[in-house]
Structure 1
Amino acid sequence: MSDNTIPDVPVAADTDVFITRAFAAPREVVWQFFTKPEFLARWFGPASVHVDLSTVRVNLREGGVWGLDMVDNESGEHYPMLVHLTVVIPPEYLEGYHPSPAVAQGGPFDRVVLRIWLHDHGDKTRMTLHQGPFEPQFRDMTRDGWLESFDKMDAVIEGDAA
Structure 2
Amino acid sequence: MDQAADLLRAKGLRNTAQRRAVLTALHGHAHSTAAELERRIGIGTAGAASSGLSRQGLYNVLDDLTRAELIRCIEPAGSPARYELRVGDNHHHLVCRGCGRIEDVDCSVGRAPCLDPTEYKGFTVDEAEITWWGLCARCAEDSASV
TM-score, normalised by the number of residues in structure 2: 0.22
Higher strand proportion (structure 1 or 2): 1
Higher helix proportion (structure 1 or 2): 2
TM-score, normalised by the number of residues in structure 1: 0.20
